[in-house]
Amino acid sequence: MDTKQFRRELHRHPELSFEEHRTAAFISEQLDLLGIEHCPIAKTGVLARIEGRRGNLKRCVVLRADIDALPIVEKTGVEWASEVEGVMHGCGHDCHAAVLFGVLKRLKANPDFEGTLLAVFQPGEECNPGGAKYVLEEEPFKDYDVAAVIGEHVDADLEVGEIGFCPGKFMASTDELHFAIKGVGGHAAMRSRIKDAVVAMADFIMRLNTFNSDDCVVSIGRVIAEGATNVIPDKVTSQGTMRTFSEKLRARVKDMIANVAEEIEYKYDVEVEVDIRHGYPCVENNVQLTYEAMLLAESRGFKVRDLEMRPTAEDFGYYTQVYPSLFYRLGVGQASGRSHTAMFLPDEKALDVGEEFMYQLALSILNK
């Protein structure tokens, strides 16, 4: 099976986070056919291993691809469209897994390299706390000297043949925000008899909005007030996300949210419940590893793009906290559309680019 066929098979049968049972079984089946050693990891993931013919086998490179899909109804209309109602590979994880499969296929065919290559087909990237956390909790690399952990993500802002890099801090941490304000509801016309949770929540959200800057995002995407035109509800809830680029700022913003909550309680005589659910850490690329990868990409004829820090998040950040790591962006072209939408359709020519670069990068690090 070639890389494109592998990708299309995954795309036809997408599965949500930590439900990737069929996906893992398919990956295991294909690895068996290639004679690649593998085992389960992180509930519904797969860990593969290929030993080189020479060198210190305790020294390793880890390649990582996520495998979960999104709750989206696909509307691409392609022959290999999702056959699972309401679930779609709308973020390109099928491409990531296919690229990794292609790399493993080539390395197994010719394991003339030093050390050991480990590959993680990782589940649950699209939800907190993230599959990467569960991978690391199993300590699968504890007996190895990890030279690098490598991951990629498709990017429609880059054209096919372009690869984007950002040395150092690259992607933000993420935390889920869950708030509830409890007041005293009643007739909307009888203001003196109510403690208005709707107004309190509106003020609270506007105060949170002032936290937004180049280094911090606090966005509320959902507000629920079960009232009516003439009914003020007892309770209003809201949910959102918080992103920062440092653990110090992350902690400070959480304290600022708590302080605003106290001020809202005092101002409106209501009760504010704050539930901040800790998510992924920042993705911080190893600077030396990143520059070496950029030079390699240029030498192999790929167009290197310098990327800025971005407030999107990735559970790959867990790996960057522990090991020298690199997370880069693989161009799939603007014609692919926007990810996380029903029409996202990456250009499959990018699979060859992704496979070739990851293969060369793995060999370069292993044989260094």
Write the pLDDT tens digit of every residue in 243-287. 999 999 999 999 999 999 999 999 999 999 999 999 999 999 999
pLDDT band per the 50, 70, 90 thresholds, residue 128:
confident
All domains in the chain, ordered by first residue: 3-171+282-366 (3.40.630.10), 173-278 (3.30.70.360)
pLDDT band per the 50, 70, 90 thresholds, residue 360:
very high
Beta strands in 197-333 (DSSP E): 216-225, 231-232, 235-244, 271-278, 283-285, 303-306, 325-331
* DSSP alpha helix (H) spans, 55-174: 93-109, 131-137
pTM (predicted TM-score) = 0.93
**Phi, psi of 98, deg, nearest 5:** -65, -40
Write the pLDDT tens digit of every residue in 4-23. 999 999 999 999 999 999 99
Active-site residue list: 66, 126
Write the pLDDT tens digit of every residue in 174-194. 999 999 999 999 999 999 999
Write the pLDDT tens digit of every residue in 279-312. 999 999 999 999 999 999 999 999 999 999 999 9
Give the pair of three-digit tokens for residue 210.
Answer: 């002032």
d(CA 275, CA 156): 34
Helix or strand run (H / E) with residue 361 = helix 349-366
d(CA 175, CA 244): 9
Helix or strand run (H / E) with residue 208 = helix 197-209
* Alpha-carbon distances, residue 46 vs 155, 180, 266 (angstroms): 25, 39, 52
Q: 161-190: buried (b, 16+ CB within 10 Å) or exposed (e) per residue?
A: ebbbbbbeebbbbbbebebbbbbebbeeee
CA dihedral 138, 139, 140, 145 (to 10 degrees): 170
Q: How many residues does the chain have?
A: 368
Write the pLDDT tens digit of every residue in 189-228. 999 999 999 999 999 999 999 999 999 999 999 999 999 9
The type of residue at 180 is: A
State residue 22's pLDDT score: 98
